[in-house]
Copies of this chain bind each other. A is one copy, B any other.
C-alpha cells in the first residue's frame, strides 16, 4: 500500500485521514515488527493522542484491510501494516521475546488440501511460530535449567 493510497483507501470507506491516523500508519509502516496499542501510543510524538483513539484507529484500519492483528500469546494483540504483495508470518523467541518475520508460508500450498478436507472455502489464517532465536540457543557445553 503506497503512502499516497491510504487517503483514497480511507475515503472509499467513508473514513477521514486524520492526523492521528496518519501518524499511526507511519509508525506501523516504519516498524519491523508488529506493535502493541500501547507501544504505538508511546511512539506518537505530535499533538496528544488518547490511547482510546489508538484503539479506535487500529480497529478502523483493520476493518478496511490496511492493518493486520496478530496474536503472539501475549496479554495484548499486536498490529502491523499490510503491505502490498507481502504475506508474512512471525516467529517469536520463547526466551528473549525477539520477533522476526517468516516469509515462508506453507499454508498457501496446503490450501487446497485444507479446503478438500474441511469442505470450507478458505479465506484467511493465522500462523505464528514460537522457538528459540540464535542468540538464545542453549550451549551444549553447559547444562541449562528448565
Chain A contacts to B: CB under 8 angstroms: 69, 71, 73, 91, 93-94, 100, 102-104, 106-107, 109-110, 113-115, 117-134, 137
Contact A120 B91, beta carbon cutoff 8 Å: yes
By a CB distance below 8 angstroms, the chain B residues around A93 are 120
6 closest A-B pairs by CB: A106-B110, A106-B106, A120-B131, A119-B134, A122-B131, A124-B130
Contact A113 B107, beta carbon cutoff 8 Å: no
Contact A127 B126, beta carbon cutoff 8 Å: yes
* Alpha-carbon distance A80/B56, docked complex (angstroms): 32
* Alpha-carbon distance A100/B123, docked complex (angstroms): 15
Contact A122 B71, beta carbon cutoff 8 Å: no
Contact B91 A118, beta carbon cutoff 8 Å: yes
Q: How far is the CB of A65 from chain B (nearest CB, A)?
A: 13
Q: How far is the CB of A8 from chain B (nearest CB, A)?
A: 19
Contact B117 A103, beta carbon cutoff 8 Å: yes
By a CB distance below 8 angstroms, the chain B residues around A119 are 133-134
